[in-house]
Amino acid sequence: MNNPATAILPPAGIGDHKPANQAVLDWVHEVELLTQPENIFWCDGSERENDFLISESLKQEVLIKLNQKKAPRSYLHRSNPNDVARVEQFTFICTPTKAEAGPTNNWSEPGETYSKLHGLLKGAMRGRTMFVVPYIMGPPDSPLTKIGFEITDSKYVVLSMRIMTRMGEIAVKRLGSDPKAEWNKGVHSLLDVNPERRFICHFPQDNAIISVGSGYGGNVLLSKKCLALRIGSYLARKQGWLAEHMLILGVESPEGKKHYVAAAFPSACGKTNFAMLIPPKHFAGWKVTTVGDDIAWMQIRDGRLWAVNPENGYFGVVPGTSYKSNPNAMKSIERDTLYTNVALTDDSDVWWEGKDGPPPPHAIDWRGNDWTPDSKEKAAHPNSRFATPMRNNPVLDPHVEDGDGVPISAIIFGGRRSDTMPLVFQAFDWEHGTYVGSTMASETTAAAAGAVGKVRRDPMAMLPFCGYNIGDYFRHWLETGKRLTKPPLIFHVNWFRKSADGKFLWPGFGDNMRVLKWIIDRCEGRVGATESPIGHIPRMQDLDLDELGGVTPNQMRELLNVSAEEWQKEVSDHAKFFESLGGVVPDELEKQRKNLAGRFKS
Ligand code: OXD
Ligand code: MN
């Protein structure tokens, strides 16, 4: 295995873009004294700097050049095989008290944690280059936008941050020279990429993050899960806004009426696919556009929720992505893409399970070994990823850069559930919707290390990302609802329900437009539903099912069915989940649970 962190020596004019802010200079100096790098590389985000870093990364085999005809300006990175997913068990919220981190987070005392991490970081960058990456999260003129600096000894991190954030000069300018300005301090070192020395630690009260021992995106692109969600959610509560694990999409009717929708699904449950949905032929004239595919920052204005996407790129799961499942994602990753842990074909193209066409007769798998279609191993890791700039998306929403954000008409929760959860239902109101989000569950995926396919409660898809006490987070949702005079309607969807013989009942992908249309029609008040104990459910005639091949009326009934037996178990699982949180759940949600249980009795 090559050493992914060997120092590089930039020529004059590259890597010397020091910011004027003394607080940043002091902090970088402190980290330099601690980690003792060979040199410091101040990033400015320019094309020239990027070209230089790519050429050095190719020399050091951190990147593999792809066939530039088939995948222009695209590269492949292989991570250490022990380091392929987020590590929730080694992720910590380091608040002064355990209660502030709450029952769903690993907690670690800040003083002790800083000492432990400083011990690990001592001399850790010897022989390495220390990169300083300035970035902003959010459109340049949004009041929600945050500034961050990430120190890292990984070139792969720098190259990924340039895709995923607005990186370089733009952040330095925005920060200016005020030593009291708010900005996030992120320190990352690969160390020796050893799972025993892998810790992702957040210090919300200091607006600081330290991540060591990993090179995997979700653990090390500190802008994303660490700042935009964990620290972001903490700041959002303090400052009265919402930081959520949600895609944002626009949906325009043939008459030109547009709505925006935000949807929280857990990792690897189809947020990117939904955000780039192409309506089926039958929906001629309907258009879906993408604002974001993973994170929404939302604030209240004029009694409504307005959302921005803080990111500048997509870090998506590759396997299963094809021209059939998500043509817009395929077009987005045709060029300018940094792939991680996919397979390399003999003509230097990339391949993964689920890509269009037949598998190649031979490839090099994600570990760097020979692979053929007869191999037992997967060619691409199930959590292999692409990082691609959002400007490559052919259906990018024209308002993605608007600082005010886009007005949200509906919020959708959803998970991967083989049973119990109908295709779609609408919550009765904001408080009930908050309950639906708080009790959400999904079968686990390869996005996080650990077992796959186990049902776990994942409130608002934020279980791994809420940077403070989950009870206070629920309270913040309830309080936000009280401040909204025109709250979004709240829905729950499940694309993954299976029949008794284990087959998916719903085709998903483009046909999810049928569900989205019902949601929009509900927002417009022009379609019916039936009232069930769990919420409003469409009757068959309320959904546009014309030209939907392969789903029989019986299967449709199964998809929309609310089984009292399954739901009694579900509600008792809600009770167990709330109980496991040790008394932090707000009374309003306990009351919602009792009401739900009662509706199944009467
Ligand atoms: C992601 C995740 O990478 O949720 O977005 O794991
Ligand atoms: Mn995510």
Residue 11's Cβ-count burial label (10 Å; 0-12, 13-18, 19+) is exposed
Residue 15 has pLDDT above 90, yes or no: yes
CA of 266 to the centre of ligand 1 (A): 8
- pLDDT value of residue 1: 45
- pLDDT value of residue 409: 98
Tell me the helices (H) and strands (E) count for the chain, helix number first.
Answer: 16, 31
d(CA 348, CA 416): 35
Place of tokens 């003509």: 347
Given its phi and psi angles, is residue 462 left (phi above 0), alpha (psi -120 to 50 degrees) or beta?
Answer: alpha
Q: Of 156-170, 437-451, 560-574, which gets the smallest average pLDDT?
A: 437-451
Note whether 550 and 559 are within 8 A (CB).
no
d(CA 591, CA 597): 10
274, 294, 311, best to mutate for ligand 1 pocket (most atoms within 8 Å of CB) = 294
267, 462, 466, best to mutate for ligand 1 pocket (most atoms within 8 Å of CB) = 267
Q: At what angle do helices 47-59 and 155-164 cross, to 10 degrees?
A: 140
- pLDDT value of residue 437: 98
At 378-419, the pLDDT tens digits run: 999 999 999 999 999 999 999 999 999 999 999 999 999 999
- pLDDT value of residue 4: 78
User: Measured from the CB, is residue 218 less than 6 Å from ligand 1?
Assistant: yes
Residue 64's Cβ-count burial label (10 Å; 0-12, 13-18, 19+) is middle
User: Measured from the CB, is residue 521 less than 6 Å from ligand 1?
Assistant: no
CA of 383 to the centre of ligand 2 (A): 12
Residue 202 has pLDDT above 60, yes or no: yes
At 93-114, the pLDDT tens digits run: 999 999 999 999 999 999 999 9
DSSP string, 357-424: SPPPSSEE-TTS-EE-TT-SS-SS-TT-EEEEEGGG-TTB-TTTT-TT-EEEEEEEEE---SSSS-SE
User: Measured from the CB, is residue 241 less than 6 Å from ligand 1?
Assistant: no
Atom 3 of ligand 1, residue of closest alpha carbon: 218
User: Measured from the CB, is residue 294 less than 6 Å from ligand 1?
Assistant: yes
At 298-312, the pLDDT tens digits run: 999 999 999 999 999
Residue-averaged pLDDT of the chain: 96
